[in-house]
Amino acid sequence: MAKKELQVSAIENGTVIDHIPADKLFDVINVLGIAAMENAMAFGTNLKSSKLGKKAIVKIWDKFLEDEEVNKLALVAPSAKINIIRGYEVVEKKMVNVPEKVEGIVKCMNPKCITNHEYVRTKFDVVNTHPIVLKCHYCEKLTDEKHLEII
Ligand code: CTP
Ligand code: ZN
């Protein structure tokens, strides 16, 4: 393939989430809630990447992700890079930062936790970032990266 030939077509305005590990594409879609958006979107997966081996990419037309949304990505795809596109040009690249608190995205790994038995939104403090360790606001048990499950 020619060097500048894109594997998924270029967009005029919107957000491109690039360098997603191929097996994390569906987690990214869940975390950002983009399944419910009405914008035009394109997804690519198992694309070639020199850094990751295989990567996935998400393009959302006419959507400019806010930092808060971008930071949710840190939980599932810390390697992701966010590109803001205007007039076909990349005008901003955002890195993903791990947030201080995580609400309603992740399941508490303690089977006895109230959040696993009643309709209570999960809530965690981030106690470590690399690797991610979350402390449950309700049962105080830790959920680590290996057990991190997206709701
Ligand atoms: N892109 C796009 N539409 C545009 C411009 C860029 O979909 N009008 C996509 C590119 O396909 C790429 C991402 O946005 O996936 C970032 O573009 P660019 O910065 O040009 O690519 P790289 O230099 O390869 O970026 P990096 O090394 O930071 O990943
Ligand atoms: Zn808990």
Confidence (pTM): 0.86
pLDDT at residue 1, rounded to an integer: 47
pLDDT exceeding 90 applies to what percent of the chain? 69
Over residues 10-25, the mean pLDDT reads 95
**Strands 81-86 and 133-136, how do they pair?**
unpaired
> Ligand 1: residues within 6 Å at CB?
6, 10-11, 16, 18-19, 57, 59, 81, 83, 85, 88, 90, 93
Q: For the chain, give the mean pLDDT.
A: 92
Please choose from 13, 90, 96 the residue to mutate so as to test ligand 1's pocket, defined by most ligand atoms within 8 A of CB: 90
pLDDT at 2 over 60: no
Tell me which residues have their CB within 5 A of the ion that is ligand 2.
108, 110, 113, 136, 138-139
Closest approach atom of ligand 1 to CA 16? 14
Q: Are 19 and 49 in contact (CB under 8 A)?
A: yes
pLDDT tens column, 49-80? 888 789 999 999 999 998 888 888 988 998 89
* DSSP line for 131-145: TTEEEETTT--EEEG
Residue closest to 88 by CA, chosen among 18, 16, 3 = 16
